[in-house]
Amino acid sequence: MTGLVIQDVTKKFGSIVAVEDVNLTFNSGEMICFLGPSGCGKTTLLRMIAGLEEPTRGMISIDGRDLTGVPVHKRDIGMVFQSFALFPHLSVGENISYSMRIRGHSRSECEDRVTELLDMMHLPGVADRRISQLSGGQRQRVAIARALALNPQVFLLDEPMSALDANLREAMQIELRKLQLELGITTVVVTHDQTEAMTMADQIVVMGKAKVLQTGGPMDIYKTPADKFVAGFIGTSNLLPAQMAGNDTVRVGGAELKVGGVKGDHQSGEDVLLMTRPEEVFVHPVTDAPPANAISGTVTFVRDIGATIEILVDCAGNEVISVLTPKDWPGVKVGEAVNVEMPAAACNVLAA
C-alpha cells in the first residue's frame, strides 16, 4: 500500500532554494533514509513531512491523506530530534507520556504505555529517573519511546545517532531497524552517514544541492550509482578516466575493457568514467598468466588489517584500490608491476 508521497515539492527560504522539485513515493511500512551532505535539504524535507515547514510548492500525503495545511499535532507523526529535545525537569515517564497527558489519556493508561515502551526499548524500571541521570544512549531510547507513545502513523528521525559515540551508534542502528521492522511503521531517517543508511534503509534517497539524485534499495545504489557524486558518496569507488570504444567497451590507457553497465547515452570516443568497487577488483603479479579485462599498474601501498587487505595500485597516474580477503591475497609488494583485473560485470560507465 502507498504510504508516503512527496509530489513536486519545492521549499524556498527567501532566495535560498532548500528543496527543489522533489517527487518520491514509498510503500507503507518502509524505512527510508534521506542521505546527503550538509546543506542539501534533507532536514527541510523531513520538517515538511512533520508540518514544521510548509512547502512553497507541491503536496505531501500519507496513506492517501493530503497533509497540506494540517498542523503538526494533527499529522499523526512521531519525531525524534537530533538533540533529543527531552524535558529536563520531567521524569523519564513524564517525558514519554507527555503527549498522551496533553490529549487527556488517564494516568493508568499513561503508566501502562510507559511501562510497555520502556520494556520495548530495553530500559525497564527507569520511569522515575531524571533525564540527567541517563546516559546518551538511554536518552535516545527515551526520545524514541516518547515519539512512539501515541502509536503514530509515521516516525521521523533527524540525525538520531549523531550524539552517540561510534560503538553505540552502530548498535543503535541495528536496534532501531529491528524495532522498525517489528512495529512495521513507515519511518524516515535523515543522515549524512552512508553506513547508517545502508544498515537501516529499505529505500535510500541520495540528495545533493536541494535535489534528489537517486532513489533505490541500498544495494541498487551501491552497485549502480546514477553518477560520480552518488558513487563517491556511497562507499568507496574507483573512478578512472576512460573513453567509450563501443556499446559495451571502454578504452582505459592502452587497454580495452568490457563493461557490465552504462549510465546514460555516450558516443564512441566520448570521455567517460569507469567505475568499479574495490572488492570487485583483483590484483595479479605480472608473472601470472594475464587475466581478461585488466589494466597494468604498479603497487604503491599495501594495508593489511586482518579481515581484509587493501592494495593501492598506480595505473598510469590513476589510483585504483583493491580490497581483498586473505584467501585472495596475491602476495604482491610495493613497487611490483601487476595486472589489475576488473571483471566486466563489475565495470560501470558513468558520465565524466
Task: List the one residue from 2, 8, 16, 236 that touches ligand ATP (CB under 6 A).
Answer: 16
Terminal Cα-to-Cα distance of the chain (whole angstroms): 39
Within 10 angstroms of residue 23's Cβ, the number of other Cβ atoms is 12
Question: Residue 119 and residue 125: Cα distance in Å, rounded?
Answer: 9
Q: Using the rule CB under 6 A, give the single segment among 34-42, 103-111, 132-140, 167-175 that binds ligand ATP.
A: 34-42
Q: What H or E segment, with its residue span, contains residue 94?
A: helix 92-102
Q: Using the rule CB under 6 A, give the single segment among 41-49, 93-101, 169-177, 225-233 that binds ligand ATP.
A: 41-49
**With binding defined as CB under 6 A, does residue 40 bind ligand ATP?**
yes
Which amino acid is it at 181?
L
Residues 97-126 that bind ligand ATP (CB under 6 A): none
Based on CB atoms, which residue is closest to ligand ATP, 39 or 253?
Answer: 39
The residues pairing with 78 across neighbouring beta strands, listed in sequence order, are: 155
Tally the residues of the chain: 352
Instruction: Give per-residue burial for 308-338: e unless 16+ CB within 10 Å, then b.
Output: ebebbbebeebebbbbbeeeeebebeeebeb
Q: Using the rule CB under 6 A, give the single segment among 42-50, 246-254, 268-276, 290-298 that binds ligand ATP.
A: 42-50
Q: Using the rule CB under 6 A, give the single segment among 32-40, 102-110, 134-142, 272-280 that binds ligand ATP.
A: 32-40
Task: List the one residue from 7, 20, 39, 329 that touches ligand ATP (CB under 6 A).
Answer: 39
> In Å, what is the CA distance from 307 to each residue of 180, 250, 326, 330?
31, 33, 7, 15
**With binding defined as CB under 6 A, does residue 51 bind ligand ATP?**
no
Angle in degrees, CA 88, 129, 175, rounded to 5 = 90
Based on CB atoms, which residue is closest to ligand ATP, 191 or 238?
Answer: 191
> In Å, what is the CA distance from 229 to each residue of 206, 219, 273?
10, 16, 12
Residue 13 beta carbon to ligand ATP: minimum distance, rounded to whole angstroms: 3
Residue 161 beta carbon to ligand ATP: minimum distance, rounded to whole angstroms: 13
Based on CB atoms, which residue is closest to ligand ATP, 81 or 329?
Answer: 81
Cell numbers of 38, please? 550538509
| Contact (Cβ atoms closer than 8 angstroms) between residue 204 and residue 189 | no
| Contact (Cβ atoms closer than 8 angstroms) between residue 224 and residue 263 | yes
- Closest residue to ligand ATP, judged by C-beta, is 43
Task: List the one residue from 36, 55, 152, 208 that touches ligand ATP (CB under 6 A).
Answer: 36
Q: Using the rule CB under 6 A, give the single segment among 40-48, 122-130, 244-252, 287-295 that binds ligand ATP.
A: 40-48
Based on CB atoms, which residue is closest to ligand ATP, 208 or 278?
Answer: 208
Residues touching ligand ATP, count (CB under 6 A):
12
Binding positions for ligand ATP, rule: CB under 6 A: 13, 16, 18, 36, 38-44, 192
